[in-house]
Structure 1
Amino acid sequence: MVKTLGSLLLFLTFLSAGNIIATVDSREVIQGDSVLLTLSITGKNINTVPQINEIGGYPVFNTQRRSATNFVHTNGVSRMEKTQIFIMEFRPDINMTIPSFSVKLDDQIESSNPIEISVLKSATGMKRETKDFSLDISVDKEKFYLGESIILNLRFKQRNNIDVMQIDYTPPAFKDFFSKQIGEGKTYQKGDFTIQELNYLLIAKKSGVLTLEPARAKIAKRARQRQRDWFVDVPEWSQISSKALSVEVVEPNQAHDIVGKYRLMDKVDVLKVKANKPVTLKVELLGVGSLDDYDGINFEIPNVTMYSDDAKVESKLLGKSLQSRYQKNFVFIADHNFTIPSKMIRAYDYETGKVNVLKTKTYKIEVEGSPKLATQAIVHSNTPVANVGTSTKNTLKWYENFPSILALALAFVLGVVSTLVVKYLPKIPLPKYKRKGKSFKYDEALKVLYPKMTQSKEVEEMVRKLYAVKRGDKEVKIDKEVLKVLVEKYREGAE
């Protein structure tokens, strides 16, 4: 639990002998919660200060120290008093006693009183509040579908004109939910109280009956305490919590990709493009529901280079409904005509219990200057072709065929050698500069330069060349020095 320890500074005004006072934020804590122990040491001369690393056997994991100096005037005599304040945080797991701590003040040993701490078992779900402070949580739905989002509303109520020194707030433990705070909240006055509200978006990770743990807060308000005929400022701690909530999560019985009500919009920037120029497809989902965990659609088109940016998801609360917008761009580059196929998104409507199928449009992209597919010329003829091999009688002697036999033998030997070379050549280590390819560097360059295509014609031309090389176009030449300068320029700009 995150603590805000730096906001607490006590000013003690003792006019008597030195002393040490121990206080805690609460004498009763829920198992898992921490205890804040404050030691206030006051005296003319603070001779020794205890070094405290553990309390009752539990390690101290947060410590803060504050100092103050006061001038005291009594019966016409003035003197200086020093105050040192130690704030320590530890986490007990069973009932325990904070021991007495001793210090040497004004050449005398002073000791604090021991404090009993009760550790309660894990939260029972009961609400705890005081007449000045309270916490409440509520959800807009107690039964909903897996993948459907709900809104949890948290309200902190504080009585007006209360001098609050510190508030340590712990939100509910959303251990079975994806959670996201919506906005910055709001504050308003109602009667004798100031109310602060926060909203959280929740999406269940699993189905079944789930528990939303309570929200908790420790609050220190300023109080006056009498010590040896004098009054000092001390924190008066109180601990409050909301009740726990149970919700039922139902799993849809039909296959789906997203949950909610949406409309799908898509468009391409051009239908006719020059070779190796980009075509951009924009896809947008807009509707009621959550799209934070939607994986999106993908395209795989043979012999077409495709690149996509990261999806942009925006959510805002409209009344008690969550409106979400999902936007993603896809870029296609090719040197021939191609088709961007339709893609399907299945949206489960939890109000009707039906699955609505949303589809993107199919786009046929015409690429100017596309290479024509070459076809082998076939000669058709009605004239019979004579089989010369069978019509000629072999009258050659064996020694006249010797050159042919020798050629056949040589061909067999060369075949065996070639097979051995192919088999064992990959095992021969080659110099690194011969084995290292260009694709890795060019891929890295594409990652840096592609998002910057619209900023410079030079960058656009380089990206076009890089894609051409990736496709195996050997006629395209890339100036490595120019590429290096561009990558370094735009990589530094991104950083």
Structure 2
Amino acid sequence: MKRCMQTGLIVLLLFGARAVPGQEVSVTAEVSRTRMTIDETLILTVSVSGSELGDVPKPVLPDMQPFIVIGSTSSSSSSFNLVNGKLSSSRSVRFIYQLKPRRTGTFVIDAAEVTLDGVAHETTPITIEVTPGASGSSQPGASRAAPTGGSPSSAAGQSSTAGQSSATGSSQDAAATPDLENTVYIRTNLDKRRAYLGEQVTVTYTLYTRLGLSNARYDVVPTYTGFWMEELFSAHHLDFKEEIIGGRRYAVATLRTIALFPTVTGELTLEPLSMICDVQAERSRRSLFDSFLSDPFDTFFSNTRQIRVVSGEQTVRVLPLPGEGRPDGFRNAVGDFSLKAMVDQATTEVNRPVTLTIELTGEGNLKTVEDPELPPLGDVKEYQSGNRAEYASGRLRISGTKTWDHVLIPTVPGDHTIASLAFPFFDPDTDAYRVTTTEPITISVLPASGTQAAVVGMPRRSVVRQIREDIHYIKPETVYLGDQGEVLFRSTWYLLLHGLPVAAILATVLYRSHAHRLRRDAGFARRRRARNTAIGLLRRSREQLEQSALDQAFTGISNALYGYVADRCNLPTAGLTSPRVVELLRERGVDEDTAALVRDCLDACDLARFAPTAHTAEHAGDLHDKARRGIESIESQLSRDR
């Protein structure tokens, strides 16, 4: 029976729509079942697909008198093919309706109609048989309790909390959305829930899914209020691995890992991280990873919907540093450090410079460590010549080396000793204060040589000589006072010079008004800097492309386009999708060619992030140029209409 249904669906998909000559457009209709009971619900899916598909209007449904439409939603997906170096793309839009039969019998769902570019496309009618239901049967899709026992949210993992998933779309489709709480979720792992002020807390976000993901992007990223944040890892594309949790098979991918250093004490909350994912509820498969294989019939035998996945909220208890045993000179350094000091030469002459180098190495937030204090140096002048730092994140711990250079100039001969330097810090592993010190350093200073003494000695006295006379006549001879020409106040230069202050005042008023508007009107400020910001991101992606960093280059192009449209429209970047960008551009009068160019660039970037092997540097360069042309075209059109 199942094989017959699949064969019938293939026939419907191949012959169910009448395509317009010259256009690759397909309109089909399919149902979740052709025989059902009156207690069950029916899923009707109208699919519109094509290679040059723009905005698709909602289908005009036939008379649905034998059924009640109890929910509806829609989803879209894009696919790309690279053949002989030529990239082709197609887009598919699905309109999903949940139907409840009113009575038993055999009914025909007549053809649904979709009008594209003035041409009507119709689907093939479908026959449905509704039989009486068994007493006490429950309606599919009704709310149900979360499973117990094998629930992923109860799986092992220190300080882990499963997130929640919610489908996005029409508010009427709640009953049509499957229970995804234990199917797609984000887990937040903390290496500790109790930490001292300034101690590192490592947070890892991991995505778990039992369904295929055709697209995924961040929706809301936490701000980490009360923490100093350093990113240790961020996934440019999802690298899935297989895990068995509670007897269920999951695809698992690490999203990002960060290091947090608390800056305040008390109970601090980590806001949830959320993502927008396009998931495919496919037929049963032999292996979970079959969901990610390229099957030409996958898009037809799967229901793709967009969901929002949210991680769980976490709390960290931050303790103040103990007051007992705090050493003198402690400057809130927390971690495990060692201090070392050295000079470039142990013997020098008076007024000859010596470089003192101080190195601090260890684990901890070195970026907030203050400069160490030098002991009294006596007859030695000291000048700080700079500092440098090298940071690493091995074993998911922030570590590195920070170096300070000091130039020392002795002014008198003899042996000069630089006393031991001390650097106190708090070690959270031992819950105690520690002090790392350096060995004393002795510098032997010899008397200055003859040449050097002449250079630094007192200047020679010289004889004062007369340069010129100190009294001069103002008028050495009589000046003829004749006609001097045009009256000064009538000259053009005189009037222009008097007009300059007025022009300067007007320019100042206009500039202050413009600057005030930039400060007060955030939307105006974003529109003003939208182009320069986007061009800067594109320039950076070009540099990454020249360094063969294709993933970063595609991400930069996508961020430039999304950021440019968000700034021009004064909207947050989070939540923007390719169809939404096209809709915003059309609302503002941007022509169809430019909107289609931007949409193609965004779809290609999304594909490159999750299928990087299908793209080359040449394709990335071409995509970069298209994105640049699209931004310039939008800028010229919006500036002209303003």
- TM-score, normalised on structure 1? 0.47
- TM-score, normalised on structure 2? 0.37
The structure number with the bigger radius of gyration is 1
Structure with bigger RCO (C-alpha 8 Å, 6+ apart): 1
Higher normalized helix content (fraction of residues): 2
Higher normalized strand content (fraction of residues): 1
